[in-house]
Amino acid sequence: MGVVFVGTRASRTLNRTWRHKDAPTDVLSFPVGTRGPDGRLALGDIVVCMPLAARQAKARGHALAREIDVLVVHGFLHLAGFDHGAGPSDEEMALRRALFGETP
What are 53-104's pLDDT values in tens digits? 999 999 999 999 999 998 998 898 888 777 765 456 666 666 666 666 665 4
| Residues facing residue 42 across a β-bridge | 34
- pLDDT band (50, 70, 90) for residue 43: confident
What does the angle CA 30 – CA 8 – CA 104 come to, to the nearest 5 degrees? 65
Q: What percent of the chain has pLDDT over 70?
A: 79
Q: pTM, whole model, 2 decimals?
A: 0.79
pLDDT digits (tens, 9 = 90+) for 25-40: 999 999 887 777 887 7
**Architecture (CATH level 2) of domain 2-100:** 3-Layer(aba) Sandwich (3.40)
Q: How many CA atoms lie within 13 A of 66 on its CB side?
A: 13
